[in-house]
Structures are given as structure tokens and as C-alpha cells.
Amino acid sequence: LVEADAQIRSWKGITEFSDQLLEVRLANEKMLGAWLNGDVAPLFAFEPSGDDESWQYIEAFDVYGQIHQLDVYQLPDVPVLVVDNNSSAELKAGLQAMQAEMKKLGQPALIQPYYSESQKQSSPMLQSAATSDVAPIQTTQLKKIRLADDKEPWISGKAEVYAIVTGVNPSRDEPTIDLVELPYLD
């Protein structure tokens, strides 16, 4: 398992940015109680290869090794343990790899994590950044964004959504490219 994890990180080019990617997760957290109570035996699955638009079903295995074919988009009503990459860790490592490549090209980029309103209010650093005395500039500001349907099959977990934002940051006095995580869109 350790070798497989290292190989996957190498293929993705994120070896130096992540120590581990593989995980086992419960596909539907609402099924945890039924599984722990022993009401239903779990199934075990992994994401099929290829483009998810060409998947006809998800293969899952029960504790006896029997194959079950599950719908690609309809979350099953039994607990399913999914062996997969940790998509959050993979996204962070991928953004760090992008940042490193941009730096090599002479265009430094920042990774901007998502901060909820309560996190912004409880962080003195974020508050001081918002109230600093930087001269205003004319710019376009995106005030609202939504995602109607990410078309992500249930087995893939939450969609990894991020934005590449370009502009001029007055505190840095230079053009910027920032990579912004948008986890709230999924």
C-alpha cells in the first residue's frame, strides 16, 4: 500500500508536497449508524478507470467477494467503503505543485485558502489585512459565485473546486496570480 501510494504521488507530480494520498472513506456519512449497529453489511469499492462520463456502473464487493453493480450518480442506501485518494490533500498538493512551477517561470503565486466569515473575524492577521491603509485601485470584484451541478459521481467524493485569480494587489505593487480554494461550492 505504501508503494502504491508513493507511485500515485509520483505520477501526479506531487511527491514533495504530500506524504500520503490513499485513504478509505465512507461514501455516505449518514450510513455510519447503520454500519456500526450491524444493520447492514458494508460494500467495498474503488473509482473505475477512465472518464467518469463513460462509466456504466460502479463495481462494489461485499464481504463474501460477490460483485454488486451500483449506479454511478445515485448514492447507494447501504454503507460503501471507498478506497481512493484523499481529494482534499491531493488538491492542496496539486496547488503547491502549480505554485512551485509558476515560481520557476518567474511568476510567483499565492495559495489562498478559503476562510469562513467566523474565521476571518477571529484572525487578527486577516482583520489587519482587511483594514490596512492601502490606496484603493479600480478593479472588478467577483461578489457571487455558484455551482449548479458539479457532475461528480458519488464515488469520487466532493469536487475539488478552485479558481485562478489574476490582477494587481496594491500591497505587493505588482501583477499577481493567486490560486484560491473554493470548497464551499461543492
List the single range of 32-46, 77-91, 110-124, 167-181 with lowest mean pLDDT: 110-124
Residue-level pLDDT at 125: 45
The three cell numbers of residue 63 are: 464481504
Q: Which pTM does this prediction carry?
A: 0.63
Residue-level pLDDT at 57: 93
- Return d(Cα 141, Cα 114) in angstroms, integer: 16
The three cell numbers of residue 175 are: 501583477
Helix (H, G, I), strand (E, B) or coil at 112: strand
- Return d(Cα 94, Cα 73) in angstroms, integer: 26
Q: Which contiguous run of DSSP H or E holds residue 127?
A: helix 124-130
Judge whether residue 73 has pLDDT over 60. Answer: yes
Judge whether residue 120 has pLDDT over 60. Answer: no
Residue type, 138: Q
Q: In this predicted model, which residue has the larger pLDDT, 45 or 135?
A: 45
Find the largest Cα–Cα distance for the chain: 67
**Spatial CA neighbour of 166 closest among 95, 107, 101:** 107
Most confident of 110-119, 149-158, 164-173: 149-158
Per-residue pLDDT band at 113 (split at 50, 70, 90): low
Residue-level pLDDT at 118: 61
| Residue 78: CB atoms within 10 Å | 18
Residues ≥6 apart with Cβ < 8 Å to 87? 156, 157, 158, 160
Residue-level pLDDT at 186: 54
- Return d(Cα 184, Cα 146) in angstroms, integer: 9
Q: Where are the alpha helices (DSSP H) in 31-116?
A: 32-36, 87-104
Judge whether residue 43 has pLDDT over 90. Answer: yes
What is the arithmetic mean of pLDDT over 104-122? 69
C-alpha pair distances (Å), 80 with each of 136, 142, 180: 52, 38, 31
Q: Which contiguous run of DSSP H or E holds residue 6?
A: helix 2-12
Helix (H, G, I), strand (E, B) or coil at 61: strand
